[in-house]
Structures are given as C-alpha cells and as structure tokens.
Amino acid sequence: MPPIRILLADDHVMVREGTRRILEREPDLVVIAEAGNGREAVEMAERERPDVAIIDISMPVMNGIEATRGIKQLAPQTAVLVLTAYDDDEYVFAILEAGAAAYLLKNARSSELIDAVRRVRAGESVLDPGVASKVLRRMSMGEQAAEPEPRESPLTEREMDVLRLAGRGLSNREIAQRLHLSPRTVQAHMANIFGKLQVSSRTEAVMTGLRRGLLTLADIPPA
C-alpha cells in the first residue's frame, strides 16, 4: 500500500516540527506539505491533494473552520483531522459540520494521533459512538426541522443498510456481524458510499444522507 500523504497546518513551527517527527516515525505515513495559516492550507490541499490534512482551529488569515470548509470544497477526497487545544462544544460542532472527519486535542498521545490518521484515511470515525450520535443529532436537528422529501437514493439497498448502521456508530466489524458480511465487504460498501456521496468520512456520509433526505432522524439513535 502507498504511504498516507499528510498536510500539516498550524501557525506554530515547533508544533508542526514535533508532529512531523511523530508521524514520520511510521513507515506508512509521510508529510508532504506544511502550512502556517488557513489560506495556505486550502491552497496546498488543492495543489497537493493529500490523503489527510491535520489542521488547528486557531490560525491567522483563515481559521481552521473556514479552512476545513475550503478544503472539502476544493479537495473533497482529503480527510480533515482537527488537532487543537480547544474542546468547546461550539468548535466541535462547527468543525464537524464544515466537513472534518476527526477532532483531537493536542494533549492526545502520539499513538492516538497516528491511529486517528490511519482511521480517517480508511473512512473510520475516531469519535466515540455515543459522542458521534450526539453530534450528528445536534447538527441535524435544525436542518431536519422540516423533514425533507425522500429522494431517489444513488446508493444500493445494501449500501443504505451499511450507511444506517454507520449512523448508529457501529464499526466496520460490527456492521459486518449485523449484516452477515465480511469486514472487507463492508469496507468496499463504505468506499462506494463515499464515492457516490463525494465524502471522505462516516460523519460526512451520514450528514449528507440527512441533508439529502436519504436518512431520517429515526435512523440515528437518541443521544
């Protein structure tokens, strides 16, 4: 497998240097570009097309929320992993709604960061299932105040089954057990879902499903 190509965006040079050293100790991870502000991050993401962009929320010129939105517009296949010192709910909800696939605090262990990079590259959620459920429901409540008319789904019936279970916070292995499939088959279905919906994470896939009327709040368990 080719290495996971990573973009680092943080206005502190020492943070970027330390993060690069942590990541590049792993043979399957390589940092291909660095950015010192949000606008640079968007420009580099569009030019370099990294697999994962690790960005901070507090950055000059353009903050991490705006940068995430720009990256997802111009390089939709890039998964955004937020690495920040802020853990306020408003930041968590805003950055995930902008399209981020993961949210880690800077006091996380290096092993957690490495694991998160690999998981978001594979489309896995790094959020605890209970937290993911709460976030999805909170973000979707406003948009779902008036239930959208169901639209013809671009997904197959099996892909819809997988998406519904992903919205409930189940891992690939748990989905495989529930549907009597192999984990590899579930991974293939998730890849098809991401491609058809033009997203790069489970959170994005479920949110897109809710926005398009493919899913309803009844498909997401209460937080």
Range name among 1-10, 101-110, 153-162 with the lowest pLDDT average:
101-110
pLDDT band at 105 (very low <50, low <70, confident <90, very high): confident
Residue 15 falls inside a structural domain = yes
pLDDT at 1 over 90: no
Looking at the structure, do residues 9 and 112 belong to the same domain, yes or no? Answer: yes
Residue 164 scores a pLDDT above 80: yes
Selected residue with higher pLDDT from 86 and 186: 186
CA atoms within 13 A on the CB side of 88: 6
Residue type, 189: H
Q: How many domains does the chain have?
A: 2
111 plus 146 within the same structural domain: no
| 171 and 110 within one domain | no
What three-state secondary structure class fits 108?
Answer: coil
Q: Is residue 126 part of a domain?
A: no
**Closest Cα partner for 104 from 72, 39, 56?**
56
Domain that holds residue 21: 4-121
Select from 121, 154, 171 the last residue of a domain: 121
> Of 84, 102, 121, which residue constitutes the final position of a domain?
121
- Residue 135 is predicted with a pLDDT of 62
Q: Which two tokens stand for residue 169?
A: 């916070």
Indicate if the pLDDT at residue 19 is higher than 50.
yes
pTM of the predicted structure, to 2 decimals:
0.69
Q: Which two tokens stand for residue 20?
A: 């690069």
115 and 27 in a common domain: yes
- Pairwise CA distance, residues 189 & 84, whole Å: 32
Look at residues 121, 152, 176 and tell me which one is the last residue of a structural domain. 121
Q: What is the pLDDT of residues 171-197, one digit of tens each?
A: 788 899 999 999 889 989 998 998 998
Q: Which CATH number covers residue 87?
A: 3.40.50.2300
The verdict on residue 97 lying in a domain is yes
Residues 113, 12, single domain; the answer is yes
Residue 67 has pLDDT above 80, yes or no: yes
The answer to whether residues 32 and 107 belong to one domain is yes
Secondary structure element (H or E) that encloses residue 5, with its range = strand 4-9
Ramachandran bin of 78, using left for φ above 0, alpha for ψ from -120 to 50, beta for the remaining angles: beta
Residue 172's pLDDT is what?
Answer: 83
